[in-house]
Amino acid sequence: MLVHEQLTSGPSRLDLRIATTATRPVTDHVLVLVHGLPRAYGMGRRAAGQLPELAEHLANESGWLVATGTFSGVGNSTGTFSISQWSADLACMLDRLDDGTRRISLAGFGLGGSLALTTAVADERVRGVATFAAPADLVRWSGEPQVLHDVVTAAGVVDPDVPLLGPAELFDDVTSIDPLASAKLLPPRRFLIGHGSDDLEVPISEARALLSAAEGRAELRVIQGAGHWLRADPRMVATLLGWLDRHR
């Protein structure tokens, strides 16, 4: 079953969907799926596409409560992209899901994986993180400030009523989070790194850099022949379900 809610995060109204199951014994675990930022024209609004369906599938197969939301500027959520705002959005969702007894984990895709890592290090409620195709070096991922600004604008994650940061400010904002430093600090909490061997947007070297930063205290799963878009890959789904099962 998938329940739809709306949350307020600063100037933004966010969509949140929470999946539960009636077919498996229910656990006290919660998994939050964290979307990324597609760099293709107009795709930012669809950054969370397929994640509600994935949430339902994971909930039915694992017994976990699985939630996924759309951050500012994505889907039907209002507001404009910035990492600072997305961090606040994710914190707002965690506050909604935390009832004092649930054990929360995060699974992030692309930039959402980088955000999940840095959020977990700052929030002790998060017991584990799985990243898929996550960039380790956001300076390299962002490119030049004007290029990043153009990519975000083209992606469509900008609300006319909430101006996008200027190129230099936006670059500083995105690169203010440090996935490598977070990967070092996350263990001994559970840490899964998933990556496609043929990812052209975020090369496999980024996954190995995260593993190195964690000093080997993480699981690396390389999905052979897979590119950047992993959320619909059945091998990714099996990898994530296996991680959830071992996380009980």
- pLDDT per position as a tens digit, 109-138: 999 999 999 999 999 999 999 999 999 999
Q: What is the mean pLDDT of residues 82-102?
A: 95
For residue 232, give both structure tokens: 């619909």
pLDDT per position as a tens digit, 32-91: 999 999 877 778 777 778 899 999 999 999 999 999 999 999 999 999 999 999 999 999
For residue 201, give both structure tokens: 């947007």
Cα–Cα distance list, 43 to 49, 164, 188, 247 (Å): 10, 17, 36, 33
pTM of the predicted model as reported, rounded to 2 decimal places: 0.95
pLDDT tops 80 at residue 93: yes
Whole-number pLDDT of residue 242: 96
Look at the domain 2-136+156-162+178-246 and name its fold. Rossmann fold (3.40.50)
pLDDT per position as a tens digit, 138-181: 999 999 999 999 999 999 999 999 999 999 999 999 999 999 99
**Packing angle, helices 234-246 and 51-62, rounded to 10:** 40
Q: Where are the domains of the chain?
A: 2-136+156-162+178-246
| Cα 124–Cα 179–Cα 158 angle in degrees, nearest 5 | 95
Q: What is the mean pLDDT of residues 206-229?
A: 95
Whole-number pLDDT of residue 158: 94
